[in-house]
């Protein structure tokens, strides 16, 4: 079977569990990018299976589920959600997250930076924008050959995310004044939380959905700032719940006013 750049495929050796788009083909090797998961991979062409795009869940279904869960009384009250700064190492995923914020009527600023550069560039944006919620994400991976899951050196970008979180916490130490959501696929959850993240991936070192960090950000932005966030319920809105993202109890960021 012939494969081309742009084709949507799965890998037979992984039980066809993840949808990828082919981003390059060199000889008999295809280089792949996850469509709904924040990961890159490569594969022998003989291991690939083509997939029709209609089989992929689109982002609108995620938006519809979130909107259904909100049940905001828009007849008498008005709402001022928290403001988001979303820094992403992947421009395509960033654009999709920004679309979700827009649909949820959340003010969000997006910035695409290589993961290795986020820490050095983050503070001027925090000082300029004063967000309530900061998302630091992109791509990550755990490499078993490099060491244990506890060793941050065993990960593609966990160290970069940790340093970015530390810089953000240097700017704002109060967890209630700046909610930080950090990490990507398979990131070292425990070390990200220790470094100051409010929410982080990935407790079970699994892949997370491209929109999962934004889903958490939306949930916090649209939660009453006088009430503790229902942590378990919020995590369940993500693809794999507490296996993919965990966090600490915090308050929401939304002001509620009356009358409308």
pLDDT for 5 equals 95
Find the mean pLDDT for residues 188-199. Answer: 98
Q: Is residue 1 part of a domain?
A: no
Tell me what the pLDDT averaged over the chain comes to: 93
Q: Which residue range is the domain that position 13 belongs to?
A: 8-55
From 16, 38, 55, the end of a domain falls on: 55
pLDDT for 77 equals 85
pLDDT for 54 equals 65
Coil, strand or helix at 12: helix
Q: Does 84 lie in the same domain as 31?
A: no
Find the mean pLDDT for residues 14-42. Answer: 93
Residue 30 pLDDT greater than 90, yes or no: yes
Q: At what angle do helices 212-221 and 91-103 cross, to 10 degrees?
A: 30
pLDDT by residue (tens digit) across 43-91? 999 999 998 876 676 788 888 888 777 766 667 888 999 999 999 999 9
Count of domains observed in the chain = 2
Q: Is residue 187 part of a domain?
A: yes
Q: Does 137 lie in the same domain as 40?
A: no
Residue 258 pLDDT greater than 90, yes or no: no
DSSP per residue, 126-159? HHHH--SEEEEES---B-GGG--TT-GGGBSSHH
The model's confidence at residue 203, banded by pLDDT at 50, 70 and 90, is: very high
- Six-digit token string for 244: 């993919």
Give the C-alpha separation, 44 to 89, whole Å. Answer: 26
Contact assessment for residue 223 and residue 66, using Cβ atoms and an 8 Å cutoff: no
Backbone angles phi, psi at 203, to 5 degrees: -50, -35
pLDDT by residue (tens digit) across 130-139? 999 999 999 9
- Candidates 252, 220, 218, 246; CA nearest to 232 is 246
Tell me which H or E stretch contains 108: strand 108-112
Residue 140 pLDDT greater than 70, yes or no: yes
Least confident of 72-76, 173-177, 247-251: 72-76
CATH number at residue 235: 3.40.50.2300
pLDDT for 73 equals 66
Q: Does 147 lie in the same domain as 19?
A: no
Q: Does 157 lie in the same domain as 113?
A: yes
The model's confidence at residue 147, banded by pLDDT at 50, 70 and 90, is: very high
pLDDT for 1 equals 77
Q: Does 81 lie in the same domain as 116?
A: yes
Give the C-alpha separation, 237 to 243, whole Å. Answer: 12
pLDDT for 71 equals 67
Contact assessment for residue 195 and residue 170, using Cβ atoms and an 8 Å cutoff: no
Q: Does 197 lie in the same domain as 105?
A: yes
Contact assessment for residue 220 and residue 252, using Cβ atoms and an 8 Å cutoff: yes
Q: Does 167 lie in the same domain as 98?
A: yes
């Amino acid at each position: 079977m012939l494969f081309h750049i742009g084709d949507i495929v799965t890998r037979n050796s992984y039980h066809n569990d993840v949808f990828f788009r082919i981003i390059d083909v060199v000889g008999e090797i295809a280089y792949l990018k996850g469509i709904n998961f924040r990961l890159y991979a490569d594969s022998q062409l003989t291991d690939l299976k083509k997939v029709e795009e209609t089989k992929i869940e689109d982002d609108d279904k995620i938006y519809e589920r979130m909107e259904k869960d909100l049940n905001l009384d828009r007849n008498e009250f008005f709402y001022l959600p928290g403001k988001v700064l979303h820094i992403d190492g992947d421009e395509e995923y960033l654009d999709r997250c920004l679309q979700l914020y827009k649909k949820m009527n959340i003010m969000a600023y997006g910035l695409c930076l290589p993961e290795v550069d986020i820490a050095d560039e983050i503070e001027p944006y925090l000082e300029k924008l004063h967000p309530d919620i900061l998302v630091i994400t992109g791509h990550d991976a755990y490499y078993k050959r490099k060491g244990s899951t506890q060793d941050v050196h065993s990960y593609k970008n966990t160290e970069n995310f940790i340093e970015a979180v530390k810089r953000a916490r240097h700017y704002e130490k109060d967890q209630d004044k700046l909610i930080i959501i950090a990490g990507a696929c398979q990131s070292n959850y425990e070390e990200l939380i220790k470094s100051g993240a409010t929410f982080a991936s990935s407790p079970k070192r699994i892949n997370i959905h491209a929109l999962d960090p934004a889903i958490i950000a939306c949930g916090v932005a649209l939660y009453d700032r006088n009430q503790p966030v229902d942590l378990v319920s919020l995590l369940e809105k993500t693809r794999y719940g507490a296996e993919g993202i965990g966090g600490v109890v915090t308050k929401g960021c939304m002001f509620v006013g009356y009358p409308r």
